[in-house]
Amino acid sequence: MSDPMDFLLLTKGPLFDLAITVFALGMAARLLEILINGRRPNYSEARGGQWLPGLRTVLTRSVPDPGTFKRAPFNVVVGWLWHLGFIVTLLFFIPHIALIKSLLGISWPGLPNPVVDLVTAVTLVALVATLVHRRTHPVKRRISTLEDYLVWTLVFLVVLSGYLAYNRIINPYPLALGLHILSAEVFLIVLPFTKLTHIFTAFIARWYNGASFGRRGVES
């Protein structure tokens, strides 16, 4: 396969179907595992409600408190930058919205391409800063695992390949777009089996903690 167009068609066809299938089955298995094993029966008398404390914890754990910001301002600022940047480029780039609509039948307004392009560039810088910080901070470097670097690499490649394709830095364009799609497919395949799962489970875990504390009548 030497033709860039053939490569693009392969990534948009059989490889895309494979990635979506592995992702859907993998996430379904992980969520089913959480629902089956996630909560033991609690026979003690409830001292408070669960839903509101759970929802409150989802909100409070999603916004850094002043103490956390004071202790680790770099982690808060750079972490928010690249997480928000990734979400914006994923959900508000018009071609991505068109793809989601073709899969799920739903859509929403997108952002102008130059805005998404700028956000993508900022996200790349933030991701590089995150890696440098991880490698130079003595504690972070010691506790980092191969999975941490694998997850960083996958996220970085998806964002970088998208930036290179949009700005036509790699030619021919079908090759650049195919590389971006391929990196996204690897991301989808690996997602259910790594820390990337937190994209879907983070809010569930936060609600669970808040609800558990709420039942005991204390704040999480």
Q: In terms of CATH, what superfamily is 4-32+61-216? A: Transmembrane di-heme cytochromes, Chain C (1.20.950.20)
Q: What is the DSSP string of 59-127?
A: HHHHS--HHHHHH-HHHHHHHHHHHHHHHHHHHHSHHHHHHHHHHHS-------HHHHHHHHHHHHHHH
Q: Rounded mean pLDDT of 175-181?
A: 96
Q: Rounded mean pLDDT of 124-147?
A: 94
In angstroms, the Cα distances linking 79 to 25, 66, 94 are 29, 15, 25
DSSP state of 148: H
Per-residue pLDDT at 74? 87
Report the distance separating Cα 8 and Cα 165, nearest Å: 12
Q: Rounded mean pLDDT of 103-130?
A: 96
Confidence (pTM) = 0.85
Whether pLDDT at 21 is above 90: yes
pLDDT band with cut points at 50, 70 and 90 for residue 73:
confident
| 8 A C-beta contact, residue 188 and residue 17 | no
